[in-house]
Amino acid sequence: MEEFKKITSNAIPLPMVNVDTDMIIPKQFLKTIKRTGLGKNLFYELRYDEKDVPIDSFVLNQDKYKESKILITGKNFGCGSSREHAPWSILDYGIKCIIASSFADIFYNNCFKNGILPIKLDETEVSKLQKAAENSLSFTIDLENQKISYIEDNKNHEINFDLDKAKKTSLLEGLDDIGLTLAKVNHISDFENRQESKTPWLYSQKIK
């Protein structure tokens, strides 16, 4: 996984609430056996009409947002299906940071597995940032210092954000979660031994 340090970019404003993962990446694109190549279909049904023609009014189709690395959106983003294809498509498009007032649980966790930083802020701050994003201002996201900064009307604005320590480290260092757990494989084996003596039927199950 690529490490996340600091990014600077304008931000895509998508002021919708309850954006679900079906909306982020519809089911017809879940038939892939790869993680890559999904970016062109991100927000497919909002982005293209029934003949596959880009819908001009949709924000991702506007030239100024084509290189954006940040998405600013509404509460409960990523609800619904657990499909990791949602963060894969977001990352493949080039977005590395999502700002919202809340995220659905599975999606939120999936982001960290893919080097995407989801930032939770309160609703007033999110709407302030939405406005700035509509004016295509440039934002800097500094993970190390947990700070969002941008310049508006010649004034420097800074917003701090909270983040769980473990999640921060994993993003900053691009850690291999499985490798870290396997380093504690002795604990796992000990657990299995304890569990097998307490609830032996869990270990003797066979399909009949």
Partner 1 sequence: MSAPKTLYDKIWNEHLVTNNDDGTSIIYIDRHLVHEVTSPQAFEGLKITNRSVRKPNFTLATADHNIPTTNRDAGISDPESKLQVDTLEENCKEHGITFLSMSDKRQGIVHIIGPEQGFTQPGMTIVCGDSHTSTHGAFGALAWGIGTSEVEHVLATQTLVQTKAKNMQINIRGELPIGVTAKDIVLKIIQTIGTAGGTGYVIEYTGEAIESLTMEGRMTVCNMSIEAGARAGLISPDEKTIEYLEGKPFSPSENEYKFASDYWLSLASDHGAAYDKVIDIDASDIIPQVTWGTSPEDVVSIDGLVPNPEDERDDSKKKSMIRALEYMGLSPNTPLKEVKIDRVFIGSCTNGRIEDLRAASEIARNRKVADHVNAIIVPGSGLVKEQAEREGLDKIFIESGFEWREPGCSMCLAMNADKLKPQERCASTSNRNFEGRQGRGGRTHLMSPAMAAAAAINGRLSDCREI
Give me the residues that bind partner 1 (CB under 8 A), please: 15-18, 20, 22-23, 26-28, 30-35, 45, 50, 74-76, 79-84, 87, 102, 104-106, 109-110, 113-114, 164-166, 169, 177-178, 180-182, 184-185, 187-188, 191-192, 195, 199-202, 204-208
Across 77-105, b (16+ Cβ under 10 Å) vs e yields bbbbbebbbbbbbbbbbebbbbbbbbbbe
Number of CB atoms found within 10 A of residue 21's CB: 25
Q: What is the C-alpha separation between 98 and 70, in angstroms, rounded?
A: 6
Of the pair 153, 183, the CB lying nearest partner 1 is at 183
Of the pair 9, 90, the CB lying nearest partner 1 is at 90
Q: What is the C-alpha separation between 128 and 55, in angstroms, rounded?
A: 26
Of the pair 155, 165, the CB lying nearest partner 1 is at 165
Instruction: Taking the CA atoms of 68, 111, 58 and 11 in sequence, report the sign of the dihedral they define.
Output: negative
Closest approach of Cβ 13 to partner 1, in Å?
Answer: 13
Q: Show Cβ contacts of residue 201 under 8 Å, excluding neighbours closer than 6 positions.
A: none
**CB 110, CB 100: distance < 8 Å:** no
Of the pair 105, 152, the CB lying nearest partner 1 is at 105
Q: Which of 106, 96, 38 lies closest to 76, judged by CA?
A: 106
Closest approach of Cβ 94 to partner 1, in Å?
Answer: 20
Of the pair 7, 106, the CB lying nearest partner 1 is at 106
